[in-house]
Amino acid sequence: MRTKIVAGNWKMNKTFEEGIQLVKEIQQSLQVNPINANENIKVIISPPFVFLKPINDLLANSSFIYTAAQNCYSEEKGAFTGEVSAQMIQSVGAKYVIIGHSERRAYFNETDALLAKKINLALANNLFPIYCCGERLEERNANTYFDVVKKQINDGLFHLSAEAFSKVVIAYEPVWAIGTGLNATPQQAQEMHQFIRNVVKEKYGKQIADNTTILYGGSCNAKNAKELFANPDVDGGLIGGASLIANDFVQIIHSF
Ligand code: 13P
C-alpha cells in the first residue's frame, strides 16, 4: 500500500507564536480524533525555515507527523549569504523538502536543471523530496499540459536511479488552481495523476510507479478534499491556504 500524505505548505505566513499555536491545535485535534491506523497516512507540516527546529521538537512524540522545508539551496555549502542547505535542514530534524514549487519557478526563476541539483542534494542528505510540477493556465488552455508536466518530471527527476527515485514524492499543482479558489476537478486531477504514474512506469517500471505517492495541490480545502482524494491515483494533498487553519487542515487529513 503506497503512503498517503497530507502536507501543509505555510508559505511565508505566521509569526513564530502563531505557528506554534497552530501546530498545537493540530496535534490536540488529532489526539481527540485520531487518524485511521490501518491506513498508511503521513502528515507533513512545512513552515518557514526559522520555525523548523522548534516545530520539529514539538512533534518529537508524534509517530506520523513530520516537517518539511519549503526549499533548499542548489549548492552543498559555502559563501552563499542568505541561503539554506539540505544538510542544515536535515540537521534540525526535518525529513522532507519541497522542491520546485511553482512560486519558486515563477518568482525565483528556478529551472528544471537547477531543481535536479536540489533533488540530488536533498537525497544525498537523507531528505525525501516533494517535487512539484504543474502547468500554467495558458498551457492548460493550449492543451499542452501533459507535455509540460512530463518535461518537468523528466528534466527534474529522471536522472535518478530507481532506488533514489523511490524516495521522491510528486506533487501535481496546476498553477491556475493555486490560491485562486478554483481547484482542478476530481476528473482533471485523476487524469493528470494517472498520466504521471504512467510516465513513471515507462521509466522505472510498474512496481515503483505503483508505490509513488502523487499529491494534488491547488485550492484543496476541507470541502473538496474528500472528492479529490477518492480518486485512485490521488494519494493526498499539498495544501496552502487551508493548512493555516487547524480545523480545516485536520478535516483534510480525515478526508481519506
Ligand atoms: P493553495 O492551497 O493556497 O491553493 O496553495 C496550494 C499550494 O501551492 C501548496 O503548495
254 is catalytic: no
Contact 236, 229 (CB under 8 A): yes
Phi/psi at 107 (5° precision) = -90, -20
Calpha distance 156→20 (Å, rounded): 33
DSSP 104: H
- Cα–Cα distance between 191 and 205 in angstroms, integer? 19
Grid coordinates 487518524 are at which residue? 35
Does the pLDDT value for residue 36 go beyond 90? no
Length of the chain: 256
State yes or no: pLDDT of 38 exceeds 80: no
Asked whether 179 lines ligand 1 (CB < 6 A), one says yes
Residue 101 is a catalytic residue: yes
Q: Is 134 in the pocket of ligand 1 (CB under 6 A)?
A: no
For the CA of 242, the closest atom of ligand 1 is 2
Task: Tell me the mean pLDDT in the region 246-252.
Answer: 98
CATH number, residue 175: 3.20.20.70
* Dihedral over Cα of 175, 178, 179, 182: its sign: positive
Q: What confidence tier does 34 reach under pLDDT thresholds 50, 70, 90?
A: very high
pLDDT at 37 over 80: no
Cα distance between residue 123 and residue 20, in whole Å: 28
Q: Is the CB of 222 under 6 A from ligand 1?
A: no
* % of the chain with per-residue pLDDT over 70: 100
Q: Is the CB of 220 under 6 A from ligand 1?
A: yes
Cell digits of residue 163: 532506488
* Structural domains of the chain, count: 1
- Domain carrying residue 105: 4-253
SS3 102: helix
Q: Are 23 and 60 in contact (CB under 8 A)?
A: no
Task: Report the pLDDT value the prediction gives residue 33, as an integer from 0 to 100.
Answer: 93
